[in-house]
Amino acid sequence: MDVIQAQIQILVGNEPRAYREVIAGALQALRPMVAISMIDPALLEAALAECQPALVLCSRLTAAIQSTARSWVLLYPDGDGRAVATVAGQERDIPGIDFEALLAIVDQALGATPIP
């Protein structure tokens, strides 16, 4: 009997669009085993209703994201150069977020390990 494994998915729904495109493209190149879905932030909650992503990247955190997503990253809240991330139920503020730190969070979310 064949075992069908669902592909791990990350929803990238942050603003501005240029950041969303760069982040999604870089993640797809660096983590090709993961399905990266770039989505308009206005459609993010609807997408959550259709799938159960391993991680959501957003620029506006809603109650639906907090209650539905297993892990999430709020990028640049209030225009600050930081992020807030929740992985495996642990929330962490990340000042001066860069792509290397974001990639580490992605890897932690994929492995469902807490953020150190």
Tens of pLDDT, residues 77-113:
998 999 999 998 899 999 999 999 999 999 999 985 5
Cβ-Cβ contacts under 8 Å for 40 (sequence gap 6 or more): 13
Confidence of residue 53 (pLDDT cuts 50, 70, 90): very high
Q: Are strands 82-87 and 90-95 parallel, antiparallel or unpaired?
A: antiparallel
CA atoms of 24 and 30, how far apart (whole Å): 10
Question: 3-state SS of the chain?
Answer: CCCCCCCCEEEEECCCHHHHHHHHHHHHHHCCCCEEEECCHHHHHHHHHHCCCCEEEECCCCHHHHHHCCCEEEECHHHCCEEEEEECCEEEEEECCCHHHHHHHHHHHHHCCCCC
Domain spans, the chain: 9-111
**pTM of the entire structure?**
0.89
Least confident of 3-7, 17-21, 50-54, 99-103: 3-7
The torsion angle over the Cα atoms of residues 85, 74, 56 and 21, rounded to 10 degrees, is -130
Q: Is the dihedral of CA 44, 65, 103, 83 positive or negative?
A: positive
What's the confidence (pLDDT) of residue 3? 39
Say whether pLDDT at 12 is over 50: yes
What's the confidence (pLDDT) of residue 115? 56
Kindly report the CATH number that applies to the domain delimited by 9-111: 3.40.50
